[in-house]
Every structure is written in structure tokens, then in C-alpha cells.
Amino acid sequence: MSEEYRNNPSIANFVEYLRIPSVQPNVNYEECLNFLKRQSDELGLLFKVYELVPQKPIAVLTWLGQEPSLPAILLNSHMDVVPVFENSWTYPPFSGHIDEDGKIFARGSQDMKCVGIQYLEAVRKLKSSGIKLKRTMHLSFVPDEEIGGHDGMKKFVLTDSFRALNIGFALDEGMANPGEEFVVFNGERSIWQIHVICTGQPGHGSLLLPNTAGEKLRYIINKFMDLREEQKKILESSPKFTIGDVTTINLTQVFGGIQSNVVPEKLTAVFDCRLAVTVNHEEFENMVKQWCKEAGEGVTYDFEQKNPCVEVTKTDESNPYWMAFKSLADELKLKLDIRIFPGGTDSRYVRRVGIPAIGFSPMNHTPVLLHDHNEFLRADIFLRGIDIYVKLIPAVANV
């Protein structure tokens, strides 16, 4: 079985891309660009590289539509992958090893080199069968998504070059699902990373001084952790809820103090909060402000990261691209499960500039292994994904 897969040109292309170690940190994207330029030439697409930050290229491959004045479709994927702990892998993580069951092992096999190649292979099939699209189709391959996309998509969407692409609708990564459903994501929670700084009376560790940083820190931690407990209960209250439906709160860092017998003048707690799309940002911040006031004087907060509120992409009749996506899924008998993405992807930047975006990786019956050891994707699932895009691309491009 694995022999038949090894000789498949689409899989050979996938494996070649997986073997490029575009691993964070300090990625060299040169090899990815060479690979994509070759693909673009083979497919007869226009190829352009934008470099907003040195050594952080954004490659855009363009298939011109018959009505180029119409808003275009963006198929986005990122070139970078997360680090690996090689000792924990059964096969070398950049080998693209295919085992007897047809599982393709490599870092990036699920997140998300698979999708980038599925776009390309679907375009190859469509072009070789003489299909023409009404709208222009742009395939973007961006850097640094795995470290927040700050030098990639976040900057790119604000440029005149991006505006000139005239995007009307975007597809980006989703996630594998062990069940029958294909999970699609129409929004993301807002990431707020909050540092709460508690100052107080310093002194000797043998005394019971008033107004200490430690007492204030305890108050703050209790407030955040009580909220965490409430959200946990909501999540557990119904099987309908997924992690993306609630606000998550985690205490991720605590620091301060100078030595064990000195009461410090300052202690800091850091909370990673992911605000559910239903949360009013102003009210949430006012609540944190109130907690700081109640904790005592000299308690302040600042943000390491504070995502703005971004409207979720509509999944109703008001969004013609979604209606095309949905009716195609019905036609192919694909069961869809619409969710809010639990982490962060480049879609948030696309939505931020008012473009509807759907996160979709066609991987059902697949364990979720993104960022995990022994990340793999089954060859048959990968190939079926190409067939899905062969139908999906014209559906959205001919809206």
C-alpha cells in the first residue's frame, strides 16, 4: 500500500515540501520559496514575493480569473512549523516517512503544509482539465504564523500590496478531527495576556507587615482563578460546548522578590486569557480594573498582548461565499461542525480588515497531532482533501 502512495505525484510533492526544515525559530525560507517558484512555473501561475521584513518573505501565486475586477479568493497557508523533540519521534521529523498503513510522518503534516500542497494539487487538476474560474485566486504562503504572524500576515494585511489583491473571501487552516465531521472555524477568541503588578510594604520576613505585595497578589490570583472555575463549569455543563466557546484563563508566570527572608516591594502575576467571542471587551477590562482597586493601593496591570474584538465570519445567507461552501459540502455529503478556533491563526488578521475567512483543513478521522510528537496524516485523507478542494475552489471562485 505504501508503495502505491510513494509513487503518487501529489504525495511526492507533499513529501518534498515536508522535507524542507522550515522550523522555528530563525527560519530560512529560501528553500520554501524555490520550491513554490517551481510549482508556480509548472502551473502557469503568476509568482510574486513581498518582503516587508528582511528574511520574512510572503509568496503569492496568482491564477487570474475571467472577471478580474470581481473580489478575489485567498487561499492562505503558512510555511513555518513548530520545533521538534527529535528523540520522541519514531521516524525523523523531516523525513516524510510513509509507513505500511500509509501514514505520512513529519512536522507540518497536519499544521499545515498539507493544506498548502492540497491547494496547489487541486489547482493542478483544475487547470489540466481546462477549468476556468470567474474570480481571481491568490495562494499565499506566509512566514512566522507559529510565532504570532507579527512579521507575516499581521503586517501584510495593512499594506497597499495586500489591498491591491482585492480579496473578497479567504480560506485558511482549520484542524484535524478524530470523528466523522469536518471542523470549520468562523472566528477566534481574543488573546489578552495581562501582567498584574502588585506593590507593597517591604521589610523583614519575620514580621506581619501591613499592605504587602503578597496579600494583594493572593487577592488577584483568587479573582482570576474563580473566573476560571466558572468557565470550566460552563464548558462541562453541555457536550455542545467546545473550548472555543468559553473564556480560558491560566496563570502562566509569577515573579518577584529578592530572597527568602525579605518581604518584596513588588510581585507580578501573568495571566493568559482567551476571551470568548461573546465577551464585551470593555466590561472585561473594567472588571480587571475593579479587582486591582479592591486588592489594595499600588496594584496596576498592563498588557503583553491585547487582541481587539473582531467580528466572526457569518455562516448564513448574508455570506454568499459561505453558502457556496455549505451547499458544496452538502452535495459531497460532508458533515460540518462550525466552531470558534481555540488558538490563534492568521485568519484573525484577515478578519480584522473586514474580510470573511473560514478555517478549514479537510482532515476527518484523524487524531489531532498539531505541535505533537509523531505528527502524521494518512495518505488517503490527504488525497481526499485534494479532491474536496477541486470542488470547493470553483464553488467559491464562481460565486
What amino acid positions are annotated as catalytic residues? Answer: 80, 145
Distance CA 144, CA 209 (A): 48
Distance CA 390, CA 350 (A): 23
Distance CA 134, CA 137 (A): 9
- Other Cβ atoms closer than 10 A to 292: 21
**Residues 307, 214, 224, 145, CA torsion sign:** positive
Instruction: Tell me which residue has cell 522550515.
Output: 22
- What is the DSSP secondary-structure string of 54-81? TT--EEEEEE--SSTTSPEEEEEEE--B
Q: Is the peptide bond before 367 cis (omega within 30 degrees of 0)?
A: no
Alpha carbon 92 to chain centroid, angstroms: 25
Distance CA 396, CA 398 (A): 6
Q: What is the DSSP secondary structure assignment for residue 309, as one 8-state letter?
A: P
Nearest-10 Cα torsion for 182, 186, 190, 191: 30
Distance CA 198, CA 208 (A): 17
Distance CA 201, CA 263 (A): 8
Distance CA 281, CA 279 (A): 6
The candidate with the shortest Cα–Cα distance to 377, out of 367, 388, 392, is 367
Is residue 151 helix, strand or coil? coil
Is residue 50 helix, strand or coil? strand
Distance CA 176, CA 109 (A): 11
Q: What is the CA radius of gyration of the chain?
A: 24
The candidate with the shortest Cα–Cα distance to 171, out of 321, 319, 303, 341, is 321
